[in-house]
Amino acid sequence: MKRKTLLTIDDSPSPLMDQRLEFLRQLDIRIVWFCRGDNLTERPESAIRALREGHILGNHSWDHPYFSTLSLADAADQIDRTEALLERIHLVAGVPRTVRCFRFPYEDQIGSAEHHQALQEMLAARGFEASGLRAVTDPRFRRRAKDLSWFWSYDLEDWTLRSSDAPDAAPTLQRVLERLTRELPQRPSGLEVVVGHDHAHTVGQWEATILRLLDLDCEFVSLEEARALTPPARKPSLVEALP
Ligand SMILES: [Zn+2]
């Protein structure tokens, strides 16, 4: 059976986002792009194109700080400046904002329990929503399923990729692809939320990781389709099956 997969890509828009949008358009794949405010000011037109082609844009802070070390005022500033841009980009694109999603850089929101709580309340006050992806079975994801910052269930580790002209680019890509090939088929069934990165130095390599996911029987679903999925039926344990 195909593995339902929601692709989420962080740190957008990069100078390669248009090329990546074209690649996804040809494969009929729609994803969630978590955008940085500073990158949105550089390349708003890529974000506008993504919206018009049916993708979802999320907030990934202004310039990617560690939120565990930020004051609450600075955290709010990071979120609000990026939100203001995202709002404007939706308006210009003529696409209504149907989802308000957020992902912390490095998923580093925690700090103390109080800080984590205060950040969650800050996101709630701004109308951010939990992912609502009930079909994910990965236990780490499940533990954080109610968080208003969207976690992932599988990391492509494409952030380890080297610049395409670096001497170790090819063996590094090989390692990333081999890991996917080894690990992904062993994963429990259920929706997979894959995280990758819109980094400008991974020319061509980014596409190779997506193609490998397809080779491994991943079926990419849109956020809307992913949210409509129900958890796979669990076989009752022997004890539960007793009368
Ligand atoms: Zn990031």
* Strands in 121-216 per DSSP E: 154-155, 192-197
How close is the Cα of 222 to the center of ligand 1, in Å? 21
CA of 167 relative to ligand 1 center, distance in Å:
25
- Is residue 240, in this structure, part of any structural domain at all? no
Classify residue 241: in a domain, yes or no: no
Rg over CA atoms, the chain = 18
Q: Give dist(CA 159, CA 157) in Å, integer.
A: 5
State pLDDT tens for residues 159-201.
999 998 899 999 999 999 999 999 999 998 899 999 999 999 9
Q: Does residue 216 sit in helix, strand or coil?
A: coil
Tell whether the model's pLDDT for residue 71 goes beyond 90. yes
C-alpha of residue 198 to centroid of ligand 1, in Å: 9
Residue 138 CA to ligand 1 centre (angstroms): 21
Confidence of residue 107 (pLDDT cuts 50, 70, 90): confident
**Residue 160 located in a structural domain:** yes
170 is a domain residue: yes
Distance 233 CA to ligand 1 centre (A): 33
Cα of 91 vs centre of ligand 1, distance in Å, is 25
The confidence score (pLDDT) of residue 1 equals 84
Q: Which residues pair with 9 in a beta bridge?
A: 33, 196
Q: By residue range, what is the domain housing residue 226? A: 3-234
Tell me which residues have their CB within 5 A of the ion that is ligand 1.
10-11, 105
pLDDT of residue 21: 98
Percent residues over pLDDT 90 in the chain: 90
- CA–centroid distance, 165 to ligand 1, in Å, is 23
Asked if residue 239 belongs to a domain, the reply is no
State the pLDDT confidence band at 241, using cuts at 50, 70 and 90.
low
pTM, two decimals, is 0.94
Question: Is 243 contained in some domain?
Answer: no
Q: How far apart are CA 44 and CA 122, in angstroms?
A: 26
CA 113 – ligand 1 centroid, Å: 22
122 C-alpha to ligand 1 centroid (Å) = 20
Count structural domains, the chain.
Answer: 1
**Which CATH number characterizes residue 94's domain?**
3.20.20.370
Q: Rounded to the nearest whole angstrom, what is the distance from the C-alpha of residue 176 to the centroid of ligand 1? A: 18
Report if residue 151 sits inside a domain.
yes
